[in-house]
Amino acid sequence: MFGRVAASGIAALLFIMPVPSNGADSAAGDMDKSAGDAVILDPSGQTGVLSQQPAPQQTQDDSGAQTKVSALDPAPPDSSPSLSAPSIPAPSPSAPFGRNLVPAFGGNLLTKWSGVEAAIRAESEIFSRCKTNAALCPAAARNFLAIVAQGRAATGRARLGVINRAVNMAIIPTSDLEQWGVIDRWSPPLETFTTSRGDCEDYAIAKYVALLEAGVDAQDVKLVIVRNLAAGEDHAVVAARLEGNWIILDNRWLALVHDSEMSQVVPLFVLDQSGVWQFAPASVPEARPASTPSDAGATAPGSLPH
């Protein structure tokens, strides 16, 4: 589970989710559609925090299938000035949320992400064996690779929608404390698919790997940690770049929304194949390497049960 990330120097920034002009029950913009023109759930106007066992409502997702997702409490809009560019470049031409990044060295978050990356590399060997010999493929790997195959068969926004929906439906939201008896544990995809349980960072890690396995370029996939201001807690999502825009894959809903359409969040960190990056503060007089929270000063993300 996520604890709170101490991100010193980061400007508290709210993103306003606009209400679509077509009158749909949404604050995330126009209703998303997949390649088959299937209408999906739009989370806007329903932003907030879920309980551990949210009450479901019927909707449709990016894949066109009707399913259940949870409604979120409305969140009031706000606006804040943009962050200025640091002298240290970001790992890609543009980062999610339109913000610049500075590298994060050391700390609990980097340690956790390094451990997850090592586990992902180990699991990739299992995926390779599965592709050559199905008899050696564990059930969890077969289930995960089936989602990857569905995503690879689609293109563009439909690929993102298929993977977002499939991973959301494959995992039962469960806190780390309930599942593992510890406050915070980050699991690689096969561990999560073996138990079929996990919290927000486990969903995000599974989607991150599934998108890469499905052929999305590594520069276009980021795991992003944001502060959920409505709950005062940290939350993990995946950002995927499509046609120059960053699309957010969130386990709280099946809709795909642009990063600029997310309300009541402050972006904190980006995790990818190049390491851990911190969103730059509003002004950087002398750009210095940012540090992630240490065990002594703060806990790493992980406290959201969903």
| Residue 202, H or E segment | helix 200-213
* pLDDT for res 2: 54
Q: Rounded to whole angstroms, how far apart are CA atoms 283 and 58?
A: 45
Given a contact cutoff of 8 angstroms between Cβ atoms, the answer to whether 88 and 287 are in contact is yes
Confidence grade of residue 106 (pLDDT, cut at 50, 70, 90): confident
Residue 287 has pLDDT above 70, yes or no: no
Residues 133 and 135: their CA atoms lie apart, in Å, by 5
Question: If you ran DSSP here, which 8-state letter would residue 135 be given?
Answer: G
pLDDT tens, residue by residue, 39-79: 333 444 443 333 344 444 444 444 444 333 332 333 333 43
Question: Is the confidence at residue 237, as pLDDT, over 90?
Answer: yes
Give a yes or no: residue 207 inside a domain: yes
Q: Is residue 35 part of a domain?
A: no
Q: For position 108, which CATH number holds? A: 3.10.620.30
Domain with 141, as residue range(s), is 56-279
Tell me, yes or no, whether 221 lies in a domain. Answer: yes
With beta carbons less than 8 A apart as the criterion, state whether 239 and 222 touch.
Answer: yes
E strands, the chain, where? Answer: 56-60, 66-70, 101-103, 172-173, 197-198, 221-228, 233-242, 245-249, 257-258, 265-272, 275-279
What are the pLDDT digits (tens) for 137-166?
999 999 999 999 999 999 999 999 999 999
Residue 140 counted as domain residue: yes
Q: What's the total number of domains in the chain?
A: 1
Q: Is residue 264, in this structure, part of any structural domain at all? A: yes
